[in-house]
Amino acid sequence: MKLTNEIIKIKDLSIGYRTKKDKLILANSLNLSLFQGELVCLIGKNGIGKSTLLRTITKIQNELSGEILIQNKNLHHYKPEELAKKISLVLTERIPQNNLTVYELIALGRQPYTNWIGTLSNFDKEKINSAIKQTGLQDLIHNRCDELSDGQMQRVMICRALSQDTDIIILDEPTAHLDIQNKIEMFKLLENLAHNLKKTILISTHEIQFALEIADILWLMTENGILQGTPEKLIKNNQINQLFDNNYVYFDKNSMHFKVK
Amino acid sequence: MKQKDSYKFSFFTLIIILIFIFFFNISLGSVSIPLKEIFASIFGYSSSNESWHYIIVNFRVPKGITAVLAGSGLSISGLLMQTLFRNPLAGPFVLGISSGASLGVAVLILGASILGGSFILLGHNQIAIAIAASLGSFMVLAFVMLLAKRVKNTMAILIIGLMFGSFTAAIISILAYFSSAENLQQYLFWSFGSLGNLSWNEILIFFIIYTIGIILVIPNIKSLNSLLLGENYAKSMGMNLQKSRNSILLTTSILTGVITAFSGPIAFIGLAVPHITKLVFNTSNHKILIPAVAIFGAIIMLISDTIAQLPNSEYVLPINAITSLFGAPVVIWLLMRKQKLS
């Protein structure tokens, strides 16, 4: 099936930090697109600006110039509550210590839809339950969040994003701190959400090998901007080698792995 | 569903305890009055002893009501601050909001002797004191918020709050140095904290402002729950951070301001009660926590006051001494517990 429904469009975007006198530009004139049902992996070395890009797209931080369109409407023209119905987040930061149960935390995802005091309607509860089913958390819903392992907690945070019922889910390094089995499960889960539930998923990751195998589109971030394309395309024209700016590592097309010289 | 029922039961039990302690508090004091006479006075029957009746209606009942208002209001303020700053050690007292109120009152009472004139009249006016305290606490809160925007580390904000407390104390001692003995005494007694001495008219004003504060708390419940996941998540769930933050701060300063104005700076209640409540109720949902914290705060304030008046003796200890005796160990225990976790 050909995907044509453009969900996010980034035009001439410049990201970075603005200080009083100066601005620190991390990336310039970015032009990117995201389509419905795509799983996009943003890869690049540490400090290149992956998190900054995600933070800019999610309005946590402001862009220096350019424009971000969410379903053809400028990001800044959305009211907070409207935007919350379009984009949900899974961040790397740990949530503060609290007494929430897994169910209560997931239910917080319904906040953009609930009334002024936050009462859950039957429809809200249905959405929560289907999110719980999708992420396979049925057995954990009465546990306390501070009793969970890292892998379980990450799954809960994804479930919360899912209950927020948005077209777009953006995850910042969702597989950091996870062991290999949890990493595989996490990628499988995200793939399932994108391809079966038609969610548009954008993640940043250092798991290049998984990203190559699972992503529909890669955003390869380098000092010169972002290279956008399918993993096959980036491999074929050797662009994937730009991920590393040294000569010790290269991508071996035969084994489809990075190798050390 | 089962959970909701158990909350109902806990609330029912707590309210019974609150009512019991309220009457227990009223039944004790420097003059011993038979229980039968107490109930007779409260429910409007004429008492056999005029002075007993007078003591109960015009002294003990207002004091009990003040304790309930102050205890519940300070505890709610503390809970709000702890959730907003995502710091278990936040509270109106620690963040310097109470110091701000003190400064407001000090400027009014002590400044009177320096500036003279109409200020002296204002210094004796309970309403003027209330306004000064509210303004003072709001100013400190706004200041702390301004810094909080720049300083991301919440521990640093807490230390800034403590520093502001010292700063305020310094200004107050300068004011005290130049003020008259009479004004100094008035300020000193106010700063000891006192639940008594309020007339029914003053209680009415106290109650009205308190009610406004409580009503303002309710629309914040939803954003307080989002804040449990941190500011970035809260924003991503559609919360207008700036607006909610300001609204929470305004509510806190109204409650803390009015309570500090009418009963002096009462330490530790706002800090300790939310923790005790969370231990008992074991939830983070503010829809449950806010009423629970209010009832707990009222109960603990009434107990503190009962101890402070040293039943059947003619001495009354400053309420601040009792709440600190009870609150400081709670804070130490909290720190120890946190140490174990990290």
On the 0-12 / 13-18 / 19+ scale of CB atoms within 10 A, B4 is: exposed
Residue bearing tokens 């009963």: B263
Query: How confident is the model at residue A4, as a pLDDT?
Result: 66
C-alpha distance from A171 to closest chain B C-alpha (Å): 12
Taking only the tens place, the pLDDT of each residue in B211-255 is 999 999 999 999 999 999 998 999 999 998 888 888 888 888 888
Q: Which of A89, A108, A112 sits opposite B225 (nearest CB)?
A: A108
**Average pLDDT in the B133-149 region?**
79
The amino acid sitting at B76 is: I
- Most B CBs within 10 A among A83, A105, A117, hence the mutation to make, goes to A117
Query: How confident is the model at residue B229, as a pLDDT?
Result: 94
C-alpha distance from A47 to closest chain B C-alpha (Å): 20
- For A242, B81, B141, B193, the CA distances from B78, given in Å and listed in that order, are 53, 5, 13, 18
Q: Which of A93, A104, A164 sits opposite B232 (nearest CB)?
A: A93
Please tell me the pTM assigned to this model.
Answer: 0.88
Position with higher pLDDT, A6 vs B153: A6
Residues A28, A62 within the same domain: yes
Identity of the highest mean pLDDT range in A98-102, A162-166, B22-26: A162-166
Residues A130, A217 within the same domain: no
Position with higher pLDDT, B183 vs B96: B183
Residues A70, A174 within the same domain: yes
Produce one character per residue of A185-219: b if its CB has 16 or more CB atoms within 10 Å, e if not.
bbbebbbebbeeeebbbbbbbebbebbbebbbbbb
Can you list the alpha helix ranges (DSSP code H) found in chain A? 50-57, 80-84, 102-107, 122-135, 150-163, 180-196, 208-214, 231-236
Judged against a pLDDT cut of 70, whether residue B185 lies above it is answered with yes
Which residues of chain B are within 8 Å of residue A82 when distances are taken between CB atoms? 238
Predicted confidence band of residue A12 (pLDDT cuts 50, 70, 90):
very high
Inter-chain contact A111–B222, Cβ cutoff 8 Å? yes
Residue A108's closest chain B neighbor by CA?
Answer: B226
Mean pLDDT is lowest, of A94-98, A226-230, B112-116, B299-303, for: B112-116
Taking only the tens place, the pLDDT of each residue in A194-217 is 999 999 999 999 999 999 999 999
Q: Which of A83, A95, A99 sits opposite B283 (nearest CB)?
A: A99
Residue ending a domain, among A116, A131, A165, is A165
Residues A175, A59 within the same domain: yes
CA distance A16 to B278: 41
Q: Is B48 helix (H, G, I), strand (E, B) or coil?
A: coil
Query: How confident is the model at residue B2, as a pLDDT?
Result: 43
- Parts of chain B belonging to CATH 1.10.3470.10: 72-341
Residue ending a domain, among A111, A145, A165, is A165
A218 touches A211 (CB < 8 A): yes
Query: How confident is the model at residue A152, as a pLDDT?
Result: 92
Residues A71, A120 within the same domain: no
Inter-chain contact A109–B237, Cβ cutoff 8 Å? yes
Judged against a pLDDT cut of 70, whether residue B121 lies above it is answered with no
Position with higher pLDDT, A102 vs B158: A102
What domain count does chain A have? 2
Taking only the tens place, the pLDDT of each residue in A15-43 is 999 887 888 899 989 999 999 999 999 99
Q: What is the CATH number of the domain that holds A255?
A: 3.40.50.300
Q: How many CB atoms lie within 10 A of CB B335?
A: 12
Query: How confident is the model at residue B123, as a pLDDT?
Result: 57
Residues A55, A44 within the same domain: yes
Taking only the tens place, the pLDDT of each residue in B65-105 is 999 999 999 999 999 989 988 878 788 776 777 788 888 88
Residue ending a domain, among A134, A165, A196, is A165
Taking only the tens place, the pLDDT of each residue in B248-279 is 888 888 888 889 888 888 888 998 999 889 88
**Average pLDDT in the A37-58 region?**
93
Give the strand order in the sheet containing A225-229: A87-90, A168-172, A200-204, A39-43, A217-222, A225-229
Position with higher pLDDT, B142 vs A24: A24
Q: Is A111 on the interface with B (CB under 8 A)?
A: yes
Indicate the average pLDDT of chain B: 84
Judged against a pLDDT cut of 90, whether residue A230 lies above it is answered with yes
Position with higher pLDDT, A19 vs B206: B206
Residue B229's closest chain A neighbor by CA?
Answer: A95
Q: Is B242 on the interface with A (CB under 8 A)?
A: no
- Most A CBs within 10 A among B155, B237, B278, B341, hence the mutation to make, goes to B237
Predicted confidence band of residue B152 (pLDDT cuts 50, 70, 90):
low
Architecture of domain B72-341: Orthogonal Bundle (1.10)
Q: Which of A60, A80, A104 sits opposite B239 (nearest CB)?
A: A80
Residues A20, A78 within the same domain: yes
Position with higher pLDDT, B68 vs B201: B68
B100 touches B168 (CB < 8 A): yes
Residues A65, A177 within the same domain: yes
CA distance A63 to A220: 19
A65-70 and A73-74 beta bridge pairing: antiparallel
Query: How confident is the model at residue B136, as a pLDDT?
Result: 87
- Percentage of chain A beyond pLDDT 70 is 98
**Average pLDDT in the A157-179 region?**
94
Smallest Cα–Cα separation from B102: which of B188, B191, B181, B170? B191
Cα dihedral A34→A39→A44→A48 (10° resolution): 50
Residues A77, A181 within the same domain: yes
Residue ranges making up the domain that contains A189: 1-84+170-261
Residues A76, A177 within the same domain: yes
Inter-chain contact B222–A116, Cβ cutoff 8 Å? yes
**Average pLDDT in the B58-70 region?**
94
Mean pLDDT is lowest, of A46-50, B58-62, B154-158, B177-181, for: B154-158
Q: Is A248 on the interface with B (CB under 8 A)?
A: no
Indicate the average pLDDT of chain A: 91
Predicted confidence band of residue B341 (pLDDT cuts 50, 70, 90):
very low
CA distance from start to end of chain B: 34
**Average pLDDT in the A96-107 region?**
90
**Dihedral sign, Cα of residue B164, residue B169, residue B175, residue B180:** positive
Q: Which of B219, B222, B278 sits opposite A99 (nearest CB)?
A: B278
CA distance B144 to B74: 18
Inter-chain contact A117–B222, Cβ cutoff 8 Å? yes
Query: How confident is the model at residue A1, as a pLDDT?
Result: 45
ipTM for the predicted complex comes to: 0.92
Cβ within 8 Å of residue A246, ≥6 positions away: none
A243 touches A43 (CB < 8 A): yes
Taking only the tens place, the pLDDT of each residue in A246-258 is 778 888 888 888 8
Q: Which of A91, A100, A111 sits opposite B237 (nearest CB)?
A: A111
Inter-chain contact A117–B236, Cβ cutoff 8 Å? no
Cβ within 8 Å of residue B30, ≥6 positions away: B309, B310, B311, B312, B313, B314, B315, B316
CA distance A83 to A69: 11
Residues A52, A22 within the same domain: yes
Q: How does DSSP classify residue B195? A: S
C-alpha distance from A222 to closest chain B C-alpha (Å): 27
**Average pLDDT in the A90-115 region?**
91
Smallest Cα–Cα separation from B248: which of B138, B156, B150? B138
C-alpha distance from B62 to closest chain A C-alpha (Å): 33
Residues A256, A175 within the same domain: yes
Q: How many CB atoms lie within 10 A of CB A157?
A: 24
